[in-house]
Chains A and B, each alone.
With several copies, the nearest count.
Chain A
Amino acid sequence: MSRILFFAQARDAAGCGEIEWRNQGGETAGILWDWLVCTFPDLGSVQAGARLARNGHYLSDGETFGTEDEIAVIPPVSGG
């Protein structure tokens, strides 16, 4: 089981800051996004500008998820 964290606009769209994801492992970013938008339709508008992170690092191209990951949905950042 992985955790998915939502920040900023993603938190607003999901309506919560964190959920559990009972995944099998090996899922791609595309599969996660399909599941997220299906579960929280408002995340559809966030997807285009957002990045995914896995265990505190941005997801690389082709990287897949494990079963105990901390995953985060990262809308465009605006710190400083």
Chain B
Amino acid sequence: MEIIVTFLTEAVPRPVSFGVEGNDGALAEFYGIIRQEEAGERIAGLNYEIYADMAEKEIRRILGELRESFPCRKVMVIHRHGFVPVGDAAIYVGVLSRHRQEGFGLLSAFMDRLKKDVPIWKVGAVSC
């Protein structure tokens, strides 16, 4: 399973370029977007901090485990850090697989694991 991990401070691309090959039958994608309210307060955005070396290792470790249950061909993970304004994506995950079931399964399970184990933090909302 090919894994590409990117951390960036500018906007997450849309679309993400994803080289489709002949046996790829499903592309499942997720953008996690900053909502306009955090803890009941209107915000302009959120700041994110990443421990990049370890975050990449954890992402690869988690995906390596999940591929046993959900064999996919290629996964791209992009996480933005620094200030992310409302309406922009903080994270993108894209999965190419033969069938949709393993792609959906990997995507959903990966997001659950990311939110528990990958050293990335919201470090405070920025008020409007």
| A–B direct touch in complex (beta carbons closer than 8 A) | yes
Residues of chain A at the chain B interface (Cβ within 8 Å): 5, 7-8, 53, 56-58, 72, 74-75, 77-80
Nearest CB on A from B45, distance (A): 15
Nearest CB on A from B12, distance (A): 12
Q: Per-residue CB proximity of B99-123 to A under 8 Å, as 1/0?
A: 0000000000001001111111111
Q: Are B115 and A53 within 8 A (Cβ)?
A: no
Chain A residues with Cβ below 8 Å from B117 are 58, 77
In Å, the complex CA distance between A55 and B21 comes to 36
Residues of chain B at the chain A interface (Cβ within 8 Å): 32, 48-51, 53-55, 57, 79, 90-91, 111, 114-123
Q: List 26 A-B contacts (CB under 8 A).
A: A8-B49, A8-B123, A53-B119, A56-B53, A56-B54, A57-B54, A57-B57, A58-B117, A72-B51, A75-B121, A77-B115, A77-B120, A78-B115, A79-B48, A79-B50, A79-B79, A79-B90, A79-B114, A79-B115, A79-B118, A79-B119, A79-B120, A79-B122, A80-B111, A80-B114, A80-B120
Q: Are B115 and A80 within 8 A (Cβ)?
A: yes
Task: Pick from A7, A57, A77: contact of B116, CB below 8 A.
Answer: A77
